[in-house]
Structure 1
């Protein structure tokens, strides 16, 4: 298998539908050899690595919009309007996330189309590459529909986003109406089902196993998708493919094993390619793979910091205020007496912390929640306990925290807040459960709560898309 070789990328965030394959080669020649075809696959991952997407900003935006962090910096460039729940359709950040996602989607569509007729790679390689393109497309559509459309549980028949499944290689093809939210989710699942079928179990190195999509990656993302859709039977069916029936919960296939790391800290202090990493965005030792300072997670959480832990957020939970829980060691107090998150701790440039997109801990907690929703409290509590005991081996949940369905689900949701703090998961959890986004305090003031019925519960459709797509209907 060809190793990932990320090529330098000049952002096209102002072009909402980039139609040019990203190599230095003309389009007619860009897919003419096996090496050039591999370069186009690498480009898909490079787009995920973009600083406006999973390279940093997208995760920071989700944390700024949720309730775990206060805002230190009032400048627009630092996302103050995002934190204040006051972004408009002309906001650069609103436009940039949309643009990067659709650029990746179109690049995926072009690659899939070329692979259907190519003779420069074997059928087996073509199948692998198509599956990777489908995974990237699914991840991008999930990000789009969660950011710019109402939650699935609120109105699955409401307006989603434009569903672009055919390649666009020339200007003038922007007009496309929004598909329903349900249709978008069906496409996401279809892409992930096909990706699971055609992706390999593993690659030739630990780096490739975390930075490229493989079977378990597609399965893991499906547990997230089905949890958002509240299809708990399907969450369980998918999770069982990569979670053993009893502790220690793990999955082994070929050369890979997925399980919780024995130490929570190593996930964020160098074990970027360990057994818990199902899919991560890598930043190798190369200047071409270094995110811009203000977009990197370490800069936002530690180096500046732009956002600090809110006093009324999960940072006050006892688990994060005891030396018995390893997760508490990744919280520190800065010179301004503010609590900061040190998961991403390469605090001086270049900022090359790997970004975890899917961890095995998420699969376990997705599985546990689905089991709890289906009233299998014993399994749910056992899996939950495995996650907690990884960080605090002696901890025992109080009986009243796990003995009823309602109590256990509340405990599971709280554990997700602790476990995934700063990883961009909190907003998704609030929205999929149709919960109010709470008010929060920061150095720049107080951000208001946001009701599920409020227009700013989701982001507006970007002005750039509205201006170029005559069939686009803005969010009310």
Structure 2
């Protein structure tokens, strides 16, 4: 990425208990490597400083401190993608950082799941601190009410994103039991010792209460954010808030809600092509469009919201997306599993095989991430393709062989499946609505391969009466997956030495959900009494 896009500016700092969270500034791209700090009292004393404080929330979400204090891309710089794939079956973790996650060997002291909890809450607190400061700046006349509402909308969008990530790892699915324990809702700023006693007594809200708060944050963001932000893709927007709501409502099985939100982004009527009236989002002509070259994932019409990494601020050798997923010169620690590579529903001539995968004649890798040298690939949080498939599934769940669902599925699929013989010729290609829904679910696994979405789908579908994942499937180890096991169209029948983790029944079923970290339960006796069963 061209260095002219970066400009060092000042930053602020605000403590959350023992954590120091930094805020950066922005020019054309976000400067995620600040070089100065402001005191808490002066951080919101001018319009420029308020702007820098808001950028600091993105910085916290991109790179909170790992358990050893280093930047490993937690929570959203890269780690959510690595963890989301390592928890599923469509990637294999080569022995190293994410093997514990892949094998289900974690406990309440394990670094990977502990880091997700602590950095997500650090980012949430950063958002809370800035919301409080922004509201104070509006009251003082430092910024206008409209500017303040937009800044608060950015913070609340990021807070909603963080809370949903916590829920899919540390709580039961909404679709199973909305009244089950969710995660603690910390909605006020913790900036020093006076705030600590109250913060250390916050108990877990229910899953339903957490989803209600997430939607409230996203509704506020939708109302107050611009359709096109000054910095596209890596800053929150009205369209990003709506797009994320289609995901949230999908987890709630609120099919009508998914359809209503998607309609705002142009999915309400059958079309040969789809374009959003908000933000002008559209699919790129080729499936590699959002990933075609270094920097492309910062400037394409399909990426709705991504987390920036840049040459000054990234997860480096031990954590970046490109390092983890890319063959040499990357480290190649996350490799495509023959489970998905061999799946008959992934046709041999699908362009996503030729354009978005590569091999070293030992494993197959995703090639979505192009910069293992300087680690500048953005983390693709949500794309227009997901909106289309979210809405397609909602339509397929609510109508017998929905023409809308069929059209939305084909919009995503047919840009990659170009041979007429491999395409779904008409709605008559499906005998039932369930067959159409299954095709949409299959498409998600191919389209978002290497983007961390697999765990999210395993979690939300685990109790589905028709499409249940049953839990975390059994998987092959990296030793099981020899090059000969990658056979297109012939289902993988090799060894699966990593045992399944069922959602219910069986000694290991409690491991479907992660434990609250011991560093948290030691500090908060209320949460110690609300630990997830089995830990």
Query: Shared fold (TM-score greater than 0.5)?
Result: yes
More RCO (CA 8 Å, sep 6+): 1
Match of 2:430 in 1: 402
Match of 1:367 in 2: 391
**Stretch moving more, 161-170 or 182-191:** 161-170
Pick from 65, 68, 80 the counterpart of residue 99 of structure 2. Answer: 80
Identify the structure with the greater helix proportion.
1
1:338 deviation in Å?
Answer: 1.2
Task: List per-residue Cα deviations over 1:267-306 (Å, max 9, x = no partner).
Answer: 112322211010011223x3x2222212111111111211
The question of whether the paired residues in 1 share the 8 Å contact of 2:14 and 2:21 is answered with no
How large is the Cα RMSD of the aligned pairs? 2.4
The question of whether the paired residues in 2 share the 8 Å contact of 1:72 and 1:307 is answered with yes
Q: Partners in 1 of 2:13 and 2:321 — Cα distance? A: 19
Q: Partners in 2 of 1:11 and 1:115 — Cα distance? A: 15
Match of 1:330 in 2: 356
Q: Within the alignment, does 1:306 sit opposite 2:329 as a pair? A: no
Match of 1:340 in 2: 365
1:7 deviation in Å?
Answer: 7.6
Match of 2:532 in 1: 475
1:130/1:68 CA distance change after superposition, 3 Å: same
Pick from 227, 232, 236 the counterpart of residue 213 of structure 1. Answer: 236
Q: Within the alignment, does 1:449 sit opposite 2:468 as a pair? A: no
1:20/1:198 CA distance change after superposition, 3 Å: same
1:310/1:188 CA distance change after superposition, 3 Å: same
The question of whether the paired residues in 2 share the 8 Å contact of 1:283 and 1:354 is answered with yes
TM-score (norm 2): 0.81
TM-score (norm 1): 0.91
Task: List per-residue Cα deviations over 1:368-395 (Å, max 9, x = no partner).
Answer: 0000011152111111011111212344
Pick from 295, 306, 316 the counterpart of residue 292 of structure 1. Answer: 316
Q: Partners in 2 of 1:5 and 1:138 — Cα distance? A: 29
Match of 1:464 in 2: 519
Match of 2:89 in 1: 67
Q: Partners in 1 of 2:17 and 2:244 — Cα distance? A: 26
Q: Partners in 2 of 1:258 and 1:239 — Cα distance? A: 12
Unpaired runs of 5+ residues, structure 1, are none
**Stretch moving more, 259-268 or 117-126:** 117-126
Q: Within the alignment, does 1:198 sit opposite 2:224 as a pair? A: yes
Q: Partners in 2 of 1:364 and 1:135 — Cα distance? A: 21
1:471 deviation in Å?
Answer: 1.0
The question of whether the paired residues in 1 share the 8 Å contact of 2:349 and 2:417 is answered with no
Task: List per-residue Cα deviations over 1:21-71 (Å, max 9, x = no partner).
Answer: 646111111111111111111011112212111111121011011001122
1:432 deviation in Å?
Answer: 0.4
Match of 1:152 in 2: 174
The question of whether the paired residues in 2 share the 8 Å contact of 1:369 and 1:412 is answered with yes
- SS of 2:136's partner is coil
Q: Which runs of structure 2 are paired with 1:164-179 in the superposition (5 Å)?
A: 164-171=186-193, 172-173=196-197, 174-179=200-205
1:327/1:238 CA distance change after superposition, 3 Å: farther
Q: Partners in 2 of 1:19 and 1:296 — Cα distance? A: 22
The question of whether the paired residues in 1 share the 8 Å contact of 2:172 and 2:180 is answered with yes
**Stretch moving more, 242-251 or 221-230:** 242-251
Q: Partners in 2 of 1:9 and 1:315 — Cα distance? A: 45
Match of 1:228 in 2: 251
Pick from 231, 245, 251 the counterpart of residue 276 of structure 2. Answer: 251
Pick from 123, 147, 167 the counterpart of residue 145 of structure 2. Answer: 123
Q: Number of matched residues?
A: 460
Match of 1:353 in 2: 377
The question of whether the paired residues in 2 share the 8 Å contact of 1:54 and 1:355 is answered with yes
The question of whether the paired residues in 2 share the 8 Å contact of 1:6 and 1:46 is answered with no
1:400 deviation in Å?
Answer: 6.9
Q: Within the alignment, does 1:316 sit opposite 2:316 as a pair? A: no
Q: Partners in 2 of 1:98 and 1:124 — Cα distance? A: 33
1:468 deviation in Å?
Answer: 0.9
1:261/1:149 CA distance change after superposition, 3 Å: same
Match of 2:127 in 1: 108
Q: Which runs of structure 2 are paired with 1:387-426 in the superposition (5 Å)?
A: 387-393=412-418, 394=420, 395-397=422-424, 402-426=430-454
- SS of 1:213's partner is coil
1:238 deviation in Å?
Answer: 0.3
1:266 deviation in Å?
Answer: 2.1
